[in-house]
Structure 1
Amino acid sequence: MKHRLRNLIVLFVASIGLAFAFNFFLLPHEVLSGGVTGLAMIFGLLTPFNSGVWLVIFNIPVLIIGWMKLGKEFIANSIFSVAVTSVAMLYIPLIQVTEDALLSSVFGGVITGAAIGVIIRFYGSTGGFDVIGLVLTLKRDLPLGALVFSLNSLVVFASGFFFTWELALYTLASIYITGIVVDRIHTRHIKLSLMVVTDKDQELRSELIGNLIRGITVMDAHGAYSNQERKVLYTVISRYELALVKSIISEVDSRAFVSVTETVEVMGNFRRS
């Protein structure tokens, strides 16, 4: 429970930071973020409704699909993050920190990337194209980065069509910087081997399978010192899932022995979410 509360606090702060980046740096210059958030910004600039309202509307069908295909904890955190960002954008005023659109693109991209990186690292997302990309990678062996970039290119094109191509280039620069910062923070591509020695294998298995889209191998073990029979759970997870896994293990069996090692390569039926 304590870990869950900590994660929600981190997600809340990062989501507020994301809203500040939008309303202080990007939106005042009509520089957009990537993905569904960028589309929400376009509609917010072209209609009387705030971008935060459009962010919720566009994310509803995406998150419903994600709820059916991805882990429930991930989608619950994503809904929380989208809701906090949307409400914050309604109350944070649009303030032009600098008149230089390029500076706003750079700093807005850095802050946005840092906020999104933290959100993903604590097992959430900002909805939109992140969720779409994750669902698509479950069906086909396609690189997530290339998928998200392709989807983001639609936002850049829309920005140039509705506004100016100069602003579209600023948007492209901001999206690129955001991507670099996100990769620096959450290192999604790193895979980890997880081994758990526990007395509560049934309960732990149920919780892990219910929250992760991973297979788990169960092995019998015999403690040399305790002379007791135990179970060993083995699986491979991605780096950003580690925070959730540690929280689950701590709540189910705080006395479990856990070993986490970085994995060089994974072959076979591994879902790249």
Structure 2
Amino acid sequence: MKHKIQSLIMITLSTFIMAVGVYFFKFPDNFCFGGITGFATVVAKVTPISASNFTFIANTILLVIGFIFLGKSFALKTTYASMLLSVLLVFFEKWMPLTKPLSNEPMLDLIFAIALPAIASALLFNIGASSGGTDVIAMLLKKYTNMKDIGIALFATDLVMILVACFVFDLKTALYSFVGLAVKSFMIDDIITTINLRKSITIVCDDKEPICSFITAKLNRSATITEGVGAYTNEKKYIIFTSLSRTQAVELRNFIHDQDLQAFMSVSSTSEVFGKGFHSL
């Protein structure tokens, strides 16, 4: 239940961040990178349908596809996120109508239009959800093709929006949109990598008990122990291997230092760790 509540809070926060970026910075400048909300700017330009209403309709259709091919858990999380996004966009449109961009600097608007949705999307993808729309198509590509990075899948999915923008809007808007799509796609992968960054730790020590007890009891992790011989002293040593989060790695380092355990500790960063306690294989 605690995990479900945390996921709900994260989805709500991420979706709100995305709604702010989309409505206040993406729609007013006609930036059309990034899925359904991007295509919605095109639809709103050439039809009587508003961008917010089109987003709601398209998201509903793609949610059904996601439920069929990506599973119930993904579908439920994505349903909540996409519906909340649509409601927030309609709310902003009704109570905070915009007739022009917030600033007279398209590049400044572009930065926020990229950064806010990218951060939100990365947080959603990291917990097995999405905001709906073409994110669903990107996850299908990732699952059923050789595209292992979600950012690359998003780029391939949304590139068609840029081509449409060339005909609907002016070339300047299309070029801004292409830059936005490219930066957003790679930014999502970088953010996910940063979130999932872990520390692989190797410890060489004389007494393994206090260190292993701290890892298992305090950090709620495990470790692998092997025996070795010091090349200089020719004495028996214990070698401990473990993987921890960045915060846990700092706690372990401080523990070894405070207890003056005379251990040798090597720490390296790794972008992904699979197995019990981390991501599933």
TM-score, normalising length: structure 1:
0.64
Judge conservation of contact 1:106–1:177 (CA < 8 Å) in 2. Answer: no
Judge conservation of contact 2:22–2:37 (CA < 8 Å) in 1. Answer: no
Find the aligned partners of 1:104 and 1:31 in 2 and give their Cα distance: 9
Alignment correspondent of 1:56: 56
Could you list the runs of 5+ residues in structure 1 that have no partner in the other structure?
Answer: 193-260, 266-270
The 5 Å alignment of 1:1-273 reads 1-92=1-92, 93-95=96-98, 96-144=101-149, 145-187=151-193
Which amino acid is 1:113 matched to?
Answer: A
Judge conservation of contact 1:27–1:94 (CA < 8 Å) in 2. Answer: no
Find the aligned partners of 2:135 and 2:41 in 1 and give their Cα distance: 17
Find the aligned partners of 1:167 and 1:173 in 2 and give their Cα distance: 10
After TM superposition, give the deviation of residue 50 of structure 1 in Å.
2.7
After TM superposition, give the deviation of residue 45 of structure 1 in Å.
3.4
Find the aligned partners of 1:122 and 1:44 in 2 and give their Cα distance: 32
Larger displacement relative to structure 2 (179-188 or 165-174): 179-188
Find the aligned partners of 2:271 and 2:187 in 1 and give their Cα distance: 22
Could you list the runs of 5+ residues in structure 2 that have no partner in the other structure?
Answer: 199-269, 275-279
Q: Could you report, residue by residue, the CA deviation over 1:179-227 in whole angstroms, capped at 9, with x for unpaired residues?
A: 23312222399799xxxxxxxxxxxxxxxxxxxxxxxxxxxxxxxxxxx
Find the aligned partners of 1:105 and 1:262 in 2 and give their Cα distance: 29
Which amino acid is 1:122 matched to?
Answer: I
Find the aligned partners of 1:146 and 1:111 in 2 and give their Cα distance: 18
Q: Residues 109 and 65 of structure 1: is their aligned pair in 2 closer, same or farther, counting only changes over 3 Å?
A: same
Which amino acid is 2:26 matched to?
Answer: L
Find the aligned partners of 1:170 and 1:262 in 2 and give their Cα distance: 31
Judge conservation of contact 1:78–1:126 (CA < 8 Å) in 2. Answer: yes
Greater RCO (Cα-Cα under 8 Å, separation 6 or more): 1
Judge conservation of contact 2:138–2:154 (CA < 8 Å) in 1. Answer: yes
Which amino acid is 2:181 matched to?
Answer: I
Find the aligned partners of 1:263 and 1:28 in 2 and give their Cα distance: 38
After TM superposition, give the deviation of residue 63 of structure 1 in Å.
1.8
Larger displacement relative to structure 2 (132-141 or 149-158): 132-141
TM-score, normalising length: structure 2:
0.63
Find the aligned partners of 1:7 and 1:160 in 2 and give their Cα distance: 39
Which amino acid is 1:167 matched to?
Answer: T
Q: Residues 189 and 115 of structure 1: is their aligned pair in 2 closer, same or farther, counting only changes over 3 Å?
A: closer
After TM superposition, give the deviation of residue 37 of structure 1 in Å.
2.3
Identity %: 25
After TM superposition, give the deviation of residue 141 of structure 1 in Å.
2.9
